[in-house]
Amino acid sequence: MSLRLIPSLSSLSKAISTMATNIKSLAKDTAVYGLSSIVGRFLNWILVPLYVYLFPAAEYGIVSYLYSFTAVALVVLNYGMETGFFRFANRHEDPEKVYTTSLWSVGGTSLLFIIILTIFLPQISSVMLLPKHPDYVWLLGVTVAIDAFTNLPFAYLRYRNKAWTFAGIKFLNIGVNIFLNVFFIVICPHLQKVCPGVIDWFYSIPGGISYGIGWIFVANIISTLVVLIALLPYLMGRRWKFDAQLLVKMLDYSWPLLILGVAGIASQNMGQLMIPYIFRGAEEAARTMVGIYGANIKIAVVMVMFTQAFRYAYEPFIFAQARAAGDSDRTRAYCDAMKYFVIFGLLIFLGVMYFLPLLKHFISPGYWSGLRVVPVMMMADLFFGVYFNLSIWYKLTDRTRWGMYMSLMCFALMLLLNLWLVPAIGIPDGYMGSAWAAFISYGAVMVFSYFVGRKYYPLPYQTGRLGLYFLLALALYYAGLRIDFTSMPIATYAVRTLILLGYLSVVAAFENIPLLTPMVKRIVRRR
């Protein structure tokens, strides 16, 4: 009997080892992609104080408002081909053909978009409530078209597990963008005063200092062109195959993802998109609200950064697992990925909220009235991250239409709640209605996806334990905020840090994770 157990024990040991290796691989890729995403967004985050200290809320509101439109346009121009590429590249006998076919498709539609935008620019600018700034609309429109095209080479880098190359080019983009923002907004105004002849040949063309926030968009398009040049090695020197039948199959798989993506990104940016239209008779106040809302969301964006970093590694991971791993290994890996996402997401939430009195100085005091949106939006973004993890069931079973249904449901909820809550709260705090709309909508679609997923692709998520972690984090959140030694802020942060360590200790105990490595244990024993 014992001899018969040896092979099964060996197989079990091998399965556990394989699963651990896969999770470590996911963690490593998440760390690398997170390096480019989190550090990159943090570096871009540093630009927020530059904007909010130099420009009034109404002017910064235009920036926040326009970037919300471009976020939606980027999803439209990509029309799910990024995820479609991963799906078909892992199935097709010729991944190179999948890649070049995708490039032909997205490249053609992006070029068409630029042509249409250029021809109908006055009309499009008027519809977007910016008839006096068609140049802003054109600059960002061309930028987003190029971004849509470069998304596929970036996806190719992820497919080839070239995480460091991916991160390097992302950092190049960020570095150039930050430098140009500082150059155009800070350095050039100084040079124009002391030695205008040095820069007038280009700086005075759009209006010099008076061009204001327009230089943000100029910096953006230049940095995007630099990225395109950096990606040329992954575009040149290959046979550009085009397979119409393959494209039809990819579009059939991806078109629900387009609806899903548009509804999803429109939901994420609903407040900034709708507030100017809701308060049509009070444009200045509406732009001020958008500016305050957009600036404070930048504090909550830490959760978005974590979700995005996880997504970059997770999407290739799940399709590779579906192709290579056994059923039990796959199931365990997916559930562990969800568990650790929630654990670290809650840790980030607590960390940001405990140190918000310090983080708020990244934005001007004139924007602090909107700090109330931060906890609401952070938890909403965590719900969205959990929903993204749950979306595995419709991606692996090719039921992407369900993703479309849920995104439309979220979009409808977000739209109705914004139309109700924003005007109900009114000026000047209407943006709180948008924050609560996001919280309710993401929470609802997360729960709905979980129950539908149990029918089509049931996974043994540890929902009870995850629920306890949520309750623990909520209790610690309220407990930590009550600890406030006004005269001794260092003591306040020290106690709150101990609470964060307590959270990690409880999680480590539940998950049987050793808090001390063997090496550290030996050092402690010697002492």
In this structure, is residue 281 part of a structural domain? no
In this structure, is residue 461 part of a structural domain? yes
Task: Specify whether the CB–CB gap between 288 and 428 falls below 8 A.
Answer: yes
Whose tokens are 């978009």? That residue is 113
Structural domain including 482 reads: 16-39+296-518
Task: Specify whether the CB–CB gap between 315 and 273 falls below 8 A.
Answer: no
**Whether residue 34 is found in the same domain as residue 90:** no
**Whether residue 478 is found in the same domain as residue 351:** yes
Number of domains in the chain: 2
**Whether residue 90 is found in the same domain as residue 119:** yes
In this structure, is residue 290 part of a structural domain? no
**Boundary residue ending a domain (226, 242, 257):** 257
Q: Determine the pLDDT at residue 519.
A: 42
Whether the upstream peptide bond of residue 428 has omega within 30° of 0, thus cis, is: yes
Task: Specify whether the CB–CB gap between 390 and 311 falls below 8 A.
Answer: no
Mean pLDDT over the full length of the chain: 84
**Whether residue 421 is found in the same domain as residue 346:** yes
Whose tokens are 């929903």? That residue is 387
Give tens-digit pLDDT for 189-212.
989 888 888 898 888 888 888 898
Among 297-306, 322-331, 494-503, name the one with the lowest average pLDDT: 322-331
Query: Mean pLDDT, to the nearest integer, of 66-80?
Result: 90
**Boundary residue ending a domain (209, 232, 257):** 257
* Segment of 101-110, 158-167, 303-312, 390-399 carrying the highest mean pLDDT: 101-110
Picking from 71, 107, 103, the residue whose alpha carbon sits closest to that of residue 261 is 71
In this structure, is residue 407 part of a structural domain? yes
**Whether residue 30 is found in the same domain as residue 85:** no
**Boundary residue ending a domain (257, 287, 320):** 257
**Exposure string for 476-514, b = 16+ CB within 10 A, e = fewer:** bbeebeeeeeeeeeeebbeebeeebeebeeebeeeeeee
C-alpha to C-alpha distance for 234 and 243, rounded to whole angstroms: 19
Picking from 164, 167, 115, 162, the residue whose alpha carbon sits closest to that of residue 141 is 115
Picking from 248, 29, 70, 278, the residue whose alpha carbon sits closest to that of residue 160 is 29
C-alpha to C-alpha distance for 178 and 162, rounded to whole angstroms: 25
In this structure, is residue 346 part of a structural domain? yes
Tokens, residue 56: 């009034």
| pLDDT of 375 higher than 90 | yes
**What pTM does this model have?**
0.77
**Whether residue 105 is found in the same domain as residue 213:** yes
Query: Please, what is the Cα angle at 322 between 385 and 408, to 5 degrees?
Result: 40
**Whether residue 234 is found in the same domain as residue 330:** no
Query: What residue spans of 355-399 are helical by DSSP H?
Result: 356-359, 373-390, 392-396
| pLDDT of 3 higher than 50 | no
Query: Mean pLDDT, to the nearest integer, of 277-296?
Result: 90
**Whether residue 307 is found in the same domain as residue 389:** yes
In this structure, is residue 166 part of a structural domain? yes
Give tens-digit pLDDT for 126-146.
999 898 899 999 999 999 999
**Whether residue 93 is found in the same domain as residue 27:** no
354 burial level (CB within 10 Å; 0-12, 13-18, 19+): buried
The distance of Cα 198 from the centroid of its chain, to the nearest Å, equals: 39
In this structure, is residue 31 part of a structural domain? yes
417 confidence band (pLDDT: 50, 70, 90): very high
| pLDDT of 322 higher than 80 | no
The residues near 202 (Cβ < 8 Å, ≥ 6 apart) are none
Whose tokens are 């129950």? That residue is 451
Q: Could you tell me which residue, 453 or 112, shows the higher pLDDT?
A: 112
Task: Specify whether the CB–CB gap between 30 and 309 falls below 8 A.
Answer: yes
**Whether residue 164 is found in the same domain as residue 309:** no
The residues near 28 (Cβ < 8 Å, ≥ 6 apart) are none
Query: Mean pLDDT, to the nearest integer, of 298-308?
Result: 76
**Whether residue 252 is found in the same domain as residue 310:** no
Among 303-307, 468-472, 479-483, 514-518, name the one with the lowest average pLDDT: 514-518
In this structure, is residue 275 part of a structural domain? no
178 confidence band (pLDDT: 50, 70, 90): very high
**Whether residue 51 is found in the same domain as residue 27:** no
